[in-house]
Amino acid sequence: MTVRILIKGATGRMGGNLVKTIASNEQTTLAYAIVHQSASEVGKNVDLFPEVTYSTELEAATDFDVAIDFTTPESTLATLAHCQKLKKPLVIGTTGFNNEQKELINQAAKEIPIVFAANFSVGMNLMFKLVEKAAKVMGSYADIEIIEAHHHNKVDAPSGTALALGEHICKALDKNLDDVAVKERNGIIGPRTKEEIGFSTIRAADVIGEHTVWFADIGERIELSHKVSDRITFARGAVHAALWLAQGQETKLYDMTNVLGLDKL
């Protein structure tokens, strides 16, 4: 069976890589390429899929198996509502959602299967499991710091992946990230507390994505790092998630840990 995929944000950085990945995968084809109304490509044919035109008409896009959205929170929520109405599965790679918006996704997952992940690379999802293991061993006494770097056009900080790393650490330590996260340090702030998890953000040039977690004790520290050199890594993971959803997963909210079976490690 060929899985027909709708891409929202098809001319963006991720959108272009998703189109390439779909074209190179024998199991997938592009059903719709949805773009913002300001995109210069509106009405033009997609190079790798000449039978598909770039369109702004999400509501008219109904003949697809799975949707993938890497855009903005507001745009993604429109895709979410559309998929709910059609009872279609959805892959969400957008970051920057607030708690209220995340709750809308949680509620929608009671009606349609959704893969919602901060990062779709296999390596980063393995790192999520590794930081959980490290936290169980060192988290009760080590200072924990998360450093992330991205390109200068990224609009949210800390990155969704950095926050996800914090969530996985807190899961292992039975803590709430909102209670222990320190995202800003400036001026005379006093000594570091043992409870806090610090976040440091770098925005520079064309850095695609780099994340490092420190578990630091007096005299030694563990550093776990992941670096991405090509966005196609994320696209391959997202298409893998779309194919997994198309196999008929039950109505639920999933992440890449589920898609890759990492909980079995």
CATH code for position 29:
3.40.50.720
Q: Is the same domain home to 242 and 111?
A: yes
Write down the pLDDT at residue 264.
83
Q: Looking at 36, 129, 154, 171, which residue is catalytic?
A: 154
Domain that holds residue 144: 122-228
Give dist(CA 95, CA 97) in Å, integer: 6
Q: Is the same domain home to 112 and 127?
A: no
Q: Any idea what the CATH number is for the domain that residue 196 is in?
A: 3.30.360.10
**Residue type for position 73:** P
Q: Is the same domain home to 185 and 90?
A: no
Per-residue confidence of the chain (265 residues) as pLDDT tens digits?
899 999 999 999 999 999 999 999 999 999 999 999 999 999 999 999 999 999 999 999 999 999 999 999 999 999 999 999 999 999 999 989 999 999 999 999 999 999 999 899 999 999 999 999 999 999 999 999 999 999 999 999 999 999 999 999 999 999 999 999 999 999 999 999 999 999 999 999 999 999 999 999 999 999 999 999 999 999 999 999 999 999 999 999 999 999 999 988 7
Write down the pLDDT at residue 185.
97
Q: Of all helices (H) and strands (E), which one includes residue 159?
A: none
Q: Looking at 82, 150, 168, 175, which residue is catalytic?
A: 150
What's the structural domain count of the chain? 2
Q: Is the same domain home to 103 and 192?
A: no
150 is catalytic: yes
Give dist(CA 29, CA 63) in Å, integer: 12
Residues of each annotated binding site for NAD(+):
9-14, 93-95, 117-120
Q: Is the same domain home to 206 and 132?
A: yes
Which positions ≥6 away from 96 have C-beta within 8 Å?
72, 73, 155, 156, 160
Q: Is the same domain home to 93 and 23?
A: yes
Q: Return the beta strands (E) in 27-182 as ranges.
A: 28-34, 45-46, 49-55, 66-69, 90-92, 114-116, 143-150, 181-182
Q: Is the same domain home to 7 and 111?
A: yes
Q: Is the same domain home to 63 and 93?
A: yes
Write down the pLDDT at residue 21.
98
Nearest to 34 by CA among 16, 12, 52, 10: 10
Cβ contact 217:142 at 8 Å? yes
Q: Is the same domain home to 140 and 176?
A: yes
Q: Is the same domain home to 189 and 105?
A: no
Residues of each annotated binding site:
9-14, 93-95, 117-120, 151, 160-161
Cβ contact 222:4 at 8 Å? no
